Amino acid sequence: MKLLRDKILSEGKCLDEGILKVDAFLNHQLDPKLMEQIGEEFARRFADSGATKILTVEASGIAPALMTGLKMGLPVVFAKKQKPSTMEGMLTASVHSFTKWQAYPICISKEFLKMEDKILFIDDFLAYGNAALGIMEIVEEVGAEIVGMGFLIEKEFQNGAKFLREKGMRVESLAVIESLENHEIKFKE
Ligand code: 5GP
């Protein structure tokens, strides 16, 4: 998606260890118009998926997931990153965080994920696929189905897409980064 690639080039910053900082439009400040267009693009790509619900992980997945839900007319559920004391009947998985180098739990209430659900998972970044794997575990636990996974930014060199496709997932990424070597953002052609 050219618009997103341009935004990454003009406002993204490469940190050490293969991390891209996009606080200016996705991870801190949000660009609503861009999010709307991202929602439209995911809606177009997953129009034939048969999805009945969108799942994401708080916090940065929420904006693009919400816009996708709006464009597809689907409800959006976000996994919480800690166990809320008020939540009973939870589904949980442990996710290894690539940016923080530690594991964190993700939790979804059984109320909002049912066996008959066809899930479209949307997230900001795809690195190694750990967050997606945690979502797969939770969805599997209730016997629901994942019909697609959409990421705004895939860092191809961390092999998350390969890992997920080998597990049978349909993966769509709007911007695919081939390398961040020498602090230079290189997209896959
Ligand atoms: P994965 O679970 O695929 O290994 O990593 C994806 C998750 O880690 C995303 O949800 C995102 O929060 C975080 N992440 C991974 N790589 C980056 C990055 O380069 N920049 C930012 N801002 N977050 C990242």
160 pocket-lining for ligand 1 (C-beta < 6 Å): yes
- Average pLDDT over every residue of 19-42: 98
Listed in sequence order, the residues at least 6 apart from 150 whose beta carbon sits closer than 8 Å to its beta carbon are 42, 45, 46, 68, 120, 121, 122, 123, 171, 172, 173, 174
State the pLDDT at residue 41.
98
124 pocket-lining for ligand 1 (C-beta < 6 Å): yes
Question: Which amino acid appears at position 37 of this protein?
Answer: Q
pLDDT digits (tens, 9 = 90+) for 87-112: 678 999 999 987 778 899 999 999 99
99 pocket-lining for ligand 1 (C-beta < 6 Å): yes
For 9, 59, 104, 168, 172, the CA distances from 94, given in Å and listed in that order, are: 33, 17, 6, 21, 24
pLDDT digits (tens, 9 = 90+) for 63-88: 999 999 999 999 999 999 987 777 67
- Average pLDDT over every residue of 49-69: 98
Question: Which amino acid appears at position 131 of this protein?
Answer: A
User: Ligand 1 atom closest to Cα of 131?
Assistant: 2
State the pLDDT at residue 54.
98
175 pocket-lining for ligand 1 (C-beta < 6 Å): no
Tokens coding 133? 């794997």
How far, in Å, from the CA of 87 to the mean position of ligand 1? 26
Q: pTM of the full predicted structure? A: 0.97
Tokens coding 96? 């290894």
Q: What is 2-187's CATH number? A: 3.40.50.2020
Burial of 141 (0-12, 13-18, 19+ CB in 10 A): middle
User: Ligand 1 atom closest to Cα of 127?
Assistant: 3
